[in-house]
A and B are shown apart, each in its own frame.
Chain A
C-alpha cells in the first residue's frame, strides 16, 4: 500500500529498508516520552539489539503516516528486517516467550558486540 508519491510513506519505506531494526516511537531511545515506547526500548536494550529509534513527535506527518503505513493505530511500532512486528504489547509478549530472540536470530540480526 506504499504510495511512492507520498514523501512520508517513501521515507518510512526507506528507513525500514535501510535498517535491520527500526522502532517508531515517542521520544528518543535515550529520552522516551511515553511509557509504552520506553518499555520497547528496554526490551531491545536487554536483548542487546542495535536499533534505530525514530521520534514521531518531531514530525506530525510521520506520526500519522506510520499508522497508515502499517494499518496500526498506535505508537510504538517495531520493524525487523522490513517486517512489522507489533506494538508494545506484542513485543513484550514475544520477549517473554523467547519468540523475539528467535525472530531476530532468524533474520540474522546479531546482538550488539
Chain B
C-alpha cells in the first residue's frame, strides 16, 4: 500500500523506464495533451523481494535484455489537462482508463489516478 504523500522512488535513478511505463506515458500524452504528466512505476513496492527486483531492473538498461515489462504491474499517474474541464471524477478516470485499456487488460494490475484541471493544479 502506497503512502498518500509523494515520495522518492526506490528504483535506482539510472534505471530506464520499462516498455509498459513508456507506453502508458505515450498514450496519455497523445490522448490528453497534458500540461503536466507523471507516470510512476510503484511495482517494486508490491513485491516481497523488492530490492532484488530493483537491482535486476537496474541491470536491464544497456547490457541484458529487458524483461519485456512483465514486472511492471503497479503505476500511479498524475495528469493535469484542460481535457478534464467540466468532467466529474468518475468521467475523468474513465477517460484515463480508456486510454490505457490495453495495458490494464494485459499487464497492469493496479493503477492509481490523479486527474486535475490546470486550475485545480494551480491551487
Chains A and B come from one and the same complex: yes
Residues of A within 8 A of B (CB): 34-36, 38-39, 71-74, 84-90, 92-94
In the bound complex, what is the Cα–Cα distance between A86 and B24 (angstroms)?
21
| A-B contact list, 13 entries, CB within 8 Å | A34-B110, A39-B1, A71-B94, A72-B93, A73-B105, A73-B111, A74-B110, A85-B90, A86-B90, A89-B93, A89-B112, A89-B114, A92-B4
Chain A residue at minimal CB-CB distance from B105: A73
Residues of B within 8 A of A (CB): 1-2, 4, 89-90, 93-94, 97, 101, 104-105, 110-114
Work out how many contacts link A and B, with CB atoms closer than 8 A.
37
Chain A residue at minimal CB-CB distance from B111: A74
Known contacts A38-B1, A73-B104; is-contact A93 B97 (Cβ 8 Å): no
Chain A residue at minimal CB-CB distance from B1: A35
Most buried by A among B89, B97, B112: B89
CB-CB nearest 4 A-B residue pairs: A35-B1, A73-B104, A90-B89, A86-B90
